Amino acid sequence: MGLNKSSGNMYEWVTHTWNTVKGECYHDCSYCYVKRWGKLNPVRFDEKELKTDLGGGNFIFVGSSCDMFAKDIPEEWILKTLKHMESFDNKYLLQTKNPERVLDFIGDVVISDKCTICTTIESDVFYPDIMGRSPRPMDRSIAMGELSEVIKTYVTIEPIMDFNLEHMVRMIRRCNPEQVNIGADSGNNHLPEPPKEKLLALIDELKKFTVIANKRNLNRLLK
């Protein structure tokens, strides 16, 4: 597929997406947009993607369709991807629900200041039937706190699910994010969503220590 222009419900500041790891994601979140494509093949590494010209001056979301840092992904696949990225003068978004594993690559030349590490924290509550085999939100938060000491971090709250306000704010603050992106379910997955008043209270609290970027799909909950 190569380098793809950003489209749909993607972050507005992302210019392109690029995926070397393809197929069924280990985390198996019930709401994953990729499931709309039908039954997925087993996870694999697409060597042809290493011939992709990533250009320059782009902001590329790497691994937008499958979590490259999930526990079942071989280290070799990750290293090949990161080394190819480093050959081009771009900014890169690496988003994962397993940020603890990213810590294994910090200090390696391929994780550079070109990268921003982002994790998804949909709620402070762990909903096992929805979040599948993903690490618990608290574990993600703790790992992101460590990562924030050495690299730029973002948090994405999407699809936002009902939460405990004070605990949610503490969890996000621990990540020390330069930006928090907030979005709602756009796939009619019947998730447990917070009421408008609670959502607005969360946004007000987060604005006290970080930049907030509301995605267009959040408008449904803010009406």
More confident residue, 1 or 114: 114
Residue 118 predicted with pLDDT over 60: yes
Tokens 């060597």 belong to residue: 47
DSSP designation for 2: -
CATH for the stretch 4-222: 3.80.30
Q: Which pTM value belongs to this model? A: 0.94
Residue 181 predicted with pLDDT over 90: yes
Percent of the chain with pLDDT over 70: 97
Confidence bin at 64 (pLDDT 50/70/90): very high
Radius of gyration, CA atoms only, the chain: 17
